[in-house]
Amino acid sequence: MKKTTIAGLVGLLFSSFAHAGVTELLTDDVIVKANRFERKDTETTYASEIHSSEHIAASGAATLYDYLAQQTTLNISSSFGSKATPSINLRGFGNENGSQNIVITVDGRRLNNIDGAAQLLSAIPLSNIERIEIIKGSGSVIYGDGATSGAVQIYTKSKTGVTIGTSLGNYGQQNHYLNAGISEKYFDLSANVAHDSHDGFSKKDPSGHKDKFSSDTQNINLKIKPVDNLYFFVAGTSSRNDIRYINYLSKSEFKDDPRQSGGRDYLQQNLDTDQWTLGAAYDITNKLKLSITHFNEDKKSAFPFYVADYDYRSNDIALSYNIETLSAIIGYQDFNGDRNTDFNTTTKDNRAVFINAEYRPNWLSEALTLSAGARKEKVRYRYAPTAGSKLSDSENLHAWDIGANYRINPQTSVFTNYNRSFQAPDIDRFFGFDEFYNTVFNGFISPAKANTINLGLNHATADHRFKATLFHVRLNDEIYLDPSFGFFGTNSNLDRTRKYGLELQDHFKVTDQLSGSILYSYTRAVIDKENTLSGSTIRNKDLPGAPKHTLVANLNYQFLERANLNINHTWRSKTYVFNDFDNSLAQKQGHYESTNLALNYQHKNLNFFASVSNLFEHENYMQTSVDALYPIDFVRTWRVGMRADF
């Protein structure tokens, strides 16, 4: 029954192609600004995937994790039970290391950490998001270190009025938020408070605890406009997160009951962050603009046995120039990151200059856009123990990008770009231990460098917005944990790897009441050659934790004037478990599957909704090694709620 229903849904989506694409271009323009230039997504020289606030509202998702996992081609997975700092895979970099190969920003502020911790997504209320841009195989000129697979830009709302939302669900799920804002001639002011929690999806561990989670976030934004060509802005965010991680289960334990603890205690973490932003933008002329922004974040991660305080400070200074045929930006960026513990302070500092430009040679063709950019970045490391010798080192790294977009006609365009990117090791990988447990430089690790080529097609009509991208990535020294050397493994580099594939997107309309979308990606991640630290050789093997196929299918039906139903199905294929670099282990990571429903009804300023996730209770999990399975998104959950706009 389950397979028949899913197959019918996917079949309906594909069969709808025969009924669309027969009228003129009527779709709204989709604007992106990942490279600091506002452009139609069909006119850019890079591959993009855009999600608007309207898509977010129709999805029925309650959190950013839910939306990214169910509605995008990002492979998002709960990391050992934590949806706050999930595993992220884009273009075959794997769920184990993928979060370090993609840069995520919120209104320009980097979420990437200086150590192995993934980006904190729970501190971004979904209700406060205006747009999500996913840039694939590009972004290294603007975003630098870590943008090897691409970048995600999240833009929050400038709210006018008041919105109140609340929802409740099984397993003690609660989600509440309040957004309020006012816009006047000389200032804009908005604020957001949000709460998200659940009582745990697994059973109690031997100590009597469940895998509970709670997150409380507050945000305020102020923009002051004393004159037309100048504005100042300040923003502050505070988030408190209490996370309890599940423990692993063996294969037999998982099959017997994925909700059990396996007799193993869960691990608790308190993760708190306070952030503020201060900046200004000045239009020197109608063609020349200067922007200056300072970001600051104080973060604390507390486990029962380990406490770390993080101090992040960064600056962004950019001068942009824009005329009809040329857009250019030159800038300086720095990021100073410290991690303080009772035993040491470890630092990773980045300094970069960049230039990026787009040229539209009207004398040659009004349909052509050319782009080029370059970045030089210096990364410095320091280790300062409370007692003992200090260590320091540095790396000089470069990125660049060239591209072109040609508009064949108003509906169709083609694009290509060639991108050079890099990933500097985080502080957990850059430093290691000798036989006496003294901290030393990790001599087995180097920065990773990637060369990516994209070739794409855009086609937009009244009934379709279609995109296709072919890509190929050639890497040297891709960073990974070599499980063959040392008791816990040793951080090292894969000598030569490559990734290639095809990405398809289609948003379509069947009738005025029925519309949908299909996002599909095929990705092959290959280890061409690796001489492991234990002396063995790996050749032509698949990278673990990187599924070849990802499918996201949506169908939206407006069955009444004010009511609509959204059906979503997300599927990812099987992979090798995290430590199976030789592709020889008997157990494999199973495929991921979730079918989700969302029902919305609008009455004047009130919106009532209900949603169900993982309708067919597919028992999903993340597997790190043989008999080490971590249940994720494995139960059916439901929510009911309402939103009021004033």
How many residues are given for the chain? 646
Q: What is the mean pLDDT of the chain?
A: 92
Is the predicted pLDDT of residue 606 greater than 80, yes or no? yes
Is the predicted pLDDT of residue 169 greater than 80, yes or no? yes
Type and span of the H or E element at 602: strand 592-603
User: Which bin fits 66, alpha (ψ -120 to 50), beta or left (φ > 0)?
Assistant: alpha
**pLDDT at position 364, please?**
83
Rg, C-alpha atoms of the chain: 24
Contact between 303 and 274 under an 8 Å Cβ cutoff? The reply is no
**pLDDT at position 29, please?**
73
**pLDDT at position 398, please?**
98
Report the amino acid identity of residue 420: R
Domain CATH number, residue 521 = 2.40.170.20
When pLDDT is cut at 50, 70 and 90, the band that residue 483 belongs to is: very high
**pLDDT at position 388, please?**
84
CB contact set of 3 (below 8 Å; sequence gap of 6+): none
Q: What is the mean pLDDT of residues 105-117?
A: 95
Q: What is the mean pLDDT of residues 372-386?
A: 97
User: Which bin fits 318, alpha (ψ -120 to 50), beta or left (φ > 0)?
Assistant: beta
CB contact set of 34 (below 8 Å; sequence gap of 6+): 44, 46, 48, 133, 135, 138, 139, 142, 151, 153
When pLDDT is cut at 50, 70 and 90, the band that residue 26 belongs to is: very low
When pLDDT is cut at 50, 70 and 90, the band that residue 20 belongs to is: very low
Report the amino acid identity of residue 320: S
Q: What is the mean pLDDT of residues 545-559?
A: 95
DSSP string, 532-590: -TTS-EEEEEEPTT--SEEEEEEEEEEEETTEEEEEEEEEE--EE-TT-TTS--S-EEP
Contact between 413 and 388 under an 8 Å Cβ cutoff? The reply is no
Type and span of the H or E element at 329: strand 326-340
Contact between 508 and 489 under an 8 Å Cβ cutoff? The reply is no
Is the predicted pLDDT of residue 433 greater than 90, yes or no? no
3-class secondary-structure state, position 109: strand
- Which of 548, 429, 432 shows the shortest CA–CA distance to 478? 429
Q: What is the mean pLDDT of residues 271-277?
A: 97
When pLDDT is cut at 50, 70 and 90, the band that residue 488 belongs to is: confident
Per-residue CA distances from 118 to 82, 103, 310, 398, 543 (Å): 11, 11, 14, 24, 20
Distance CA 491, CA 441 (A): 11
Is the predicted pLDDT of residue 521 greater than 90, yes or no? yes
Q: Which sign, positive or negative, has the C-alpha torsion 106, 90, 142, 43?
A: negative
Structure token pair of residue 354: 């960049």
CA 404 to chain centroid, in Å, comes to 26
Contact between 117 and 97 under an 8 Å Cβ cutoff? The reply is no
Distance CA 197, CA 211 (A): 11
Q: Which sign, positive or negative, has the C-alpha torsion 409, 73, 113, 443?
A: negative
Domain count, the chain: 1
Is the predicted pLDDT of residue 7 greater than 80, yes or no? no
Q: Which domain holds residue 93?
A: 2-645
Q: Any alpha helices (H) in 140-280, and if so which ranges?
A: 140-143, 251-256
Provide the greatest CA pair distance for the chain: 74
Distance CA 506, CA 458 (A): 10
Structure token pair of residue 524: 């092959």
**pLDDT at position 28, please?**
60
Report the amino acid identity of residue 531: N
CA geometry: angle 587, 588, 594, nearest 5 deg: 135
Structure token pair of residue 91: 């273009």
Q: What is the mean pLDDT of residues 208-229?
A: 95
What backbone torsions phi and psi does residue 382 show, to the nearest 5 degrees? -140, 140
> Minimum mean pLDDT among 1-5, 61-65, 503-507: which range?
1-5
Q: What is the mean pLDDT of residues 249-255?
A: 97
When pLDDT is cut at 50, 70 and 90, the band that residue 124 belongs to is: very high
Report the amino acid identity of residue 431: F
Q: What is the mean pLDDT of residues 341-370?
A: 94
198 strand-pairing partners: 213
Distance CA 587, CA 546 (A): 15
Distance CA 631, CA 81 (A): 7
- For the whole prediction, is pTM greater than 0.85? yes
Give the long-range contacts of residues 191-195, CB within 8 A, separation 24 or more.
191/159, 191/218, 191/219, 191/220, 191/221, 192/125, 192/127, 192/128, 192/156, 192/159, 192/217, 192/218, 192/219, 192/220, 193/217, 193/218, 193/219, 194/125, 194/127, 194/128, 194/218
- Which of 349, 347, 350 shows the shortest CA–CA distance to 339? 347
Structure token pair of residue 246: 């599940």
Structure token pair of residue 426: 């985080």
Structure token pair of residue 586: 């008997």
Tens digit of pLDDT for each residue in 576-601?
Answer: 999 999 999 999 999 999 999 999 99
Is the predicted pLDDT of residue 10 greater than 60, yes or no? no
**pLDDT at position 74, please?**
93
Q: Strand ranges (DSSP E) for 341-441?
A: 344-359, 368-385, 391-409, 412-423, 431-433, 439-441
Q: Any alpha helices (H) in 130-195, and if so which ranges?
A: 140-143
Is the predicted pLDDT of residue 12 greater than 60, yes or no? no
